[in-house]
Amino acid sequence: MIKANVSLKAYNTFSIEASAKRFAKFTSILELRQVLNLRNEESLLVLGGGSNILLTKDFDGLVIRNQIAGIEIIEETNDYVLIKSGSGIVWHEFVIWCIDHNFGGIENLSLIPGSVGASPMQNIGAYGVEIKDLFEKLEAVNIETGELHEFNHSDCLFGYRESVFKRKLKDQYIIVSVTFRLTKKHIVNRNYGAINDELEKQNISTPTIKDISNAIISIRSSKLPDPSKIGNAGSFFKNPVVHKSILERIQKDYENVPNYPANDKIKLAAGWLIEKAGWKGKTYDNYGVHKNQALVLVNYSDCTGKDIYDLSSKIIEDVSNKFGLVLEREVNII
What is the binding site for ligand EPU (CB under 6 A)? Answer: 126-127, 224, 234-235, 238-239, 258, 269, 271-272, 275, 280, 293-295, 330
SS3 11: helix
Nearer to ligand EPU, 123 or 179 (CB): 123
* Rounded Cα gap, residues 232 and 244, in angstroms: 32
Residue 246 C-beta-side C-alpha neighbours within 13 Å: 19
40 vs 228 by CB, closer to ligand EPU: 228
Annotation says 249 is catalytic: no
330 is catalytic: yes
Q: How far is the CB of 275 from ligand EPU (least distance, A)?
A: 4
Burial of residue 5 (CB within 10 Å: 0-12, 13-18, 19+) is exposed
Query: In the bound complex, what is the minimum distance in angstroms from residue 284's beta carbon to ligand EPU?
Result: 18
Q: How far is the CB of 269 from ligand EPU (least distance, A)?
A: 3
Least CB distance to ligand EPU at residue 239 (A): 5
Q: Which of 31, 62, 35 is nearest to 46 (CA)?
A: 62
DSSP state of 239: P
CA–CA distance, 201 with 215 (Å, rounded to integer): 10
Q: Which of 161, 190, 220, 329 is catalytic?
A: 161
Residue placing its CB nearer to ligand EPU in the complex, 59 or 279: 279
CB 280 within 8 A of CB 294: yes
Smallest gap from Cβ 38 to ligand EPU, in A, equals 33
Nearer Cβ to ligand EPU (6/15)? 15
> CA-CA distance, 213 to 126, in Å (whole number)?
12
User: How many helices and strands (H and E) does the chain possess?
Assistant: 7, 19
The verdict on whether 235 is a catalytic residue reads yes
| Residue nearer to ligand EPU on the CB measure, 24 or 242 | 242
Tell the smallest beta-carbon distance from residue 188 to ligand EPU (Å). Answer: 15
Name which of 24 and 250 has its Cβ closer to ligand EPU: 250
- Of 87, 235, 312, 329, which residue is the catalytic one? 235
Q: Of 31, 136, 275, 330, which is the active-site residue?
A: 330
* Secondary structure of residue 96 in the 3-state scheme: helix
Read off the DSSP letter of residue 240: P
Q: How far apart are CA 294 and CA 270, in angstroms?
A: 8
Type of residue at 240:
P
Pairing of strands 332-333, 53-54: parallel
Catalytically active residues are 161, 235, 330
